[in-house]
Amino acid sequence: MSELTIPKKVAILQSNYIPWKGYFDMINAVDEFIFYDEMQYTKNDWRNRNKIKTPQGTAWLTVAVRQEHLHQKINETEVFDHKWAVKHWRTLAQTYAKAPYFADYKAELEAVYNTPEFTNLSQINAAFIRAICGWLGITTKLSWSTDYKLIEGKTERLVQLVRDSGGTSYLSGPAAQGYLDTALFDQAGIEVNWMDYSGYPEYRQVGPAPFEHGVTVLDLLFNTGPAAPQYMKTFAPQAAAPAL
């Protein structure tokens, strides 16, 4: 790396529906986060669904989408049941009505659910992610893989995306350690780092034990409000998370 190179951290990941807190920690840890929705849409995954914690335990919120063929991309995936937004909003409002900070986010979240032009899964996911980044104070640049030239090769494409975005380091999820060809990043002079999702503190959560970390970040926001960053990992050091 030359002395004139400005360090820039980049992450590349598929969009998810109202993701968990770890997803937003990854966004907050980098300078640019690239939605990689050129990838194949996979059923029964996080692309179109996520979990909430209810008084009875965890429950799924699933956006009903149409899969036309096996090689369909995430950004080609369209909504099948247009009543999904009404159903999801009603479920969230009923589940979290008594949560300490639900009222703080209610109007803005309902407005996102009421966006009339929602038909595409990538569009839906990005709208919620952008809104939640605003609530958490995350200022990372959000872009799309289609904003850049896409080349062939699983790892080669990622390397090229990082280079084209001006990145000097790449932050990847830990699951990729089994298949990512880090030698290609080394050859391009790009440092590879791995996200660590361990060690999250617990907070007071609706419903029975055990505590569920893998639910939508809305659960954290509704229950802790402005203290939410204290229960995450990549924000500037603050006072310790309040005891339960």
Residues with Cβ within 8 Å of 1's Cβ and at least 6 positions away in sequence, in order, are: 7, 168, 189
pLDDT at 239: 47
Q: Is 236 part of a structural domain of the chain? A: no
On whether residue 175 sits in a domain, the answer given is yes
Structural domain boundaries, residue 113:
9-231
CB 131 within 8 A of CB 138: no
DSSP 213-236: SSSBHHHHHHHHGGGGGGGSSSSP
Q: Model confidence over 17-45: pLDDT tens digits? A: 999 999 999 999 999 999 999 999 998 89
Domain-embedded: residue 241: no
pLDDT of residue 236: 66
Per-residue pLDDT tens digits for 175-184: 999 899 999 9
Total domains present in the chain? 1
Question: DSSP strand E in the chain: where?
Answer: 9-13, 32-35, 49-54, 57-62, 65-66, 78-79, 141-144, 169-172, 191-194
Burial tier of 21 (Cβ tally within 10 Å: 0-12, 13-18, 19+): buried
Express each pLDDT in 96-151 by its tens digit: 999 999 999 999 999 999 988 789 999 999 999 999 999 999 999 999 999 999 99
pLDDT of residue 231: 96
80 within some domain: yes
| Domain-located, residue 239 | no
Give the tens place of pLDDT for each residue, 191-201.
999 999 999 99
